[in-house]
């Protein structure tokens, strides 16, 4: 039997927010694929939880909606729903690809994308694609609604800018300019139910053979998913060719080493990271899917 806690499933966001504001040891339950096994292994992250507030009965948190310039993803949308969704496949193919690679069928049928980054594990697969798409998120509490960029929301491993009594209600993804091409890469120990060792997302727009804009984000190799702005700045207006990509790959290795320090796994991980990043850039440049 897992640890003791109470369980409620309110039907409206307002009542969920009220319950959360009144119980300081309450936690939001969405997919549960992190918190329930967390209870089982007696993870210290969840040990204080006295009440779970299941938000899945709140109808309007389940939608993926198209607006003029952006697409909204509700807090209860699962990876399975995301991977199948036409809007996501059309405008945010890297995100659809990442969603397909999460866990297994069983996990994707429960786990939510919002839960993936609220949990903020270093290996969260959805984070690098969300970062290159400049995702914003909407957060609500009883008192107010605020919007924040995902990059700012993610603070350090397993810590975010979410305050007591707040719920992330949706992701807001601006539709990218259609000249962007990109790809998502994930390396795990095996294909299914694998924790990512390396994940990378690249989105690039070329103009007359030059890199007009490139967005690069990493996961798993950095303590949390992060954009690599220094690399992006360096690449701007460089010729989109192998020399530039090699240079970028070397820079990425140096950057990751600078962030994480030398680890027992560095000897393997850094050359692999540089190689897969280089290949990813070449692939994006050839515009292969």
Q: Least distance in Å: CB of 241 to another protein?
A: 35
Beta-carbon-side half-sphere exposure of residue 252 (alpha carbons within 13 Å): 34
Q: Least distance in Å: CB of 205 to another protein?
A: 32
Residues near another protein (CB under 8 A), total: 31
Pairwise CA distance, residues 259 & 270, whole Å: 12
Residue from 10, 18, 27, 32 binding another protein (CB under 8 A): 32
Cβ distance to another protein smaller for residue 33 or 85: 33
Q: Least distance in Å: CB of 102 to another protein?
A: 11
Q: Which two tokens stand for residue 124?
A: 């969260």
Q: Residue 2: name the closest of 42, 50, 53, 54 by CA.
A: 42
Residue from 36, 87, 148, 210 binding another protein (CB under 8 A): 36
DSSP assignment of 21-40 equals: HH-TTEEEESS-TTHHHHHH
Instruction: Select the span of 151-159, 187-195, 255-263, 264-272 touching another protein (CB under 8 A).
Output: 187-195
Q: Which two tokens stand for residue 203?
A: 């989105």
106 touches another protein by CB under 8 A: yes
Residue from 11, 14, 42, 50 binding another protein (CB under 8 A): 50
Cβ distance to another protein smaller for residue 74 or 115: 115
1 touches another protein by CB under 8 A: yes
105 touches another protein by CB under 8 A: yes
Rounded to 10 degrees, what is the CA torsion of 114, 120, 124, 127?
Answer: 70
Pairwise CA distance, residues 199 & 17, whole Å: 34
191 touches another protein by CB under 8 A: yes
Q: What is the DSSP letter of 193?
A: S
Q: Least distance in Å: CB of 30 to another protein?
A: 10
129, 217 contact by CB (below 8 A): yes
Count the neighbouring beta carbons within 10 Å of the beta carbon of residue 94: 24
Phi, psi (5° rounding) for residue 41? -90, 10
Instruction: Select the span of 104-112, 177-185, 217-225, 270-278 touching another protein (CB under 8 A).
Output: 104-112
Q: Least distance in Å: CB of 142 to another protein?
A: 22
Q: Is 114 exposed, middle or buried (0-12, 13-18, 19+ CB in 10 A)?
A: buried
Pairwise CA distance, residues 158 & 285, whole Å: 34
210 touches another protein by CB under 8 A: no
40 touches another protein by CB under 8 A: yes
Cβ distance to another protein smaller for residue 39 or 278: 39
Residues present in the chain in total: 289
- Chain positions contacting another protein, by CB under 8 A: 1-7, 9, 29, 32-33, 36-37, 39-41, 50, 52, 54, 56, 80, 103-107, 109-110, 191-193
């Amino acid at each position: 039997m897992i640890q003791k806690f109470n369980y409620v499933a309110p039907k409206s966001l307002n009542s969920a927010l009220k319950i959360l504001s009144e119980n300081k040891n309450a936690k939001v339950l969405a997919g549960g694929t992190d918190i329930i096994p967390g209870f089982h292994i007696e993870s210290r992250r969840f040990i204080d939880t006295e009440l779970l507030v299941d938000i899945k009965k709140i109808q309007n948190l389940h939608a993926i909606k198209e607006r003029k310039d952006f697409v909204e993803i509700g807090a209860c949308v699962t990876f399975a729903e995301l991977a199948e969704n036409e809007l996501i496949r059309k405008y945010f193919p890297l995100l659809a690809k990442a969603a397909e690679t999460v866990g297994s069928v069983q996990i994707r049928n429960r786990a939510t994308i919002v839960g993936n980054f609220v949990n903020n594990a270093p290996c969260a697969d959805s984070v690098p694609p969300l970062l290159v798409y400049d995702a914003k998120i909407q957060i609500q509490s009883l008192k107010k609604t605020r919007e924040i960029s995902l990059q700012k929301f993610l603070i350090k491993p397993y810590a975010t800018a979410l305050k007591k009594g707040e719920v992330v209600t949706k992701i807001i993804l601006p539709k990218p300019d259609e000249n962007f091409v990109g790809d998502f890469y994930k390396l795990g120990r095996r294909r299914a139910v694998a924790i990512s060792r390396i994940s990378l997302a690249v989105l690039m727009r070329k103009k007359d053979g030059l890199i007009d804009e490139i967005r690069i984000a990493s996961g798993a190799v950095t303590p949390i998913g992060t954009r690599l702005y220094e690399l992006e700045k360096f690449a701007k207006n460089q010729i989109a060719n192998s020399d530039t990509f090699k240079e970028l790959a070397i820079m990425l290795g140096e950057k990751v080493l600078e962030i994480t320090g030398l680890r027992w796994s560095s000897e393997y991980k850094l050359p692999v990271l540089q190689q897969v990043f280089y290949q990813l850039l070449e692939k994006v440049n050839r515009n292969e899917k």
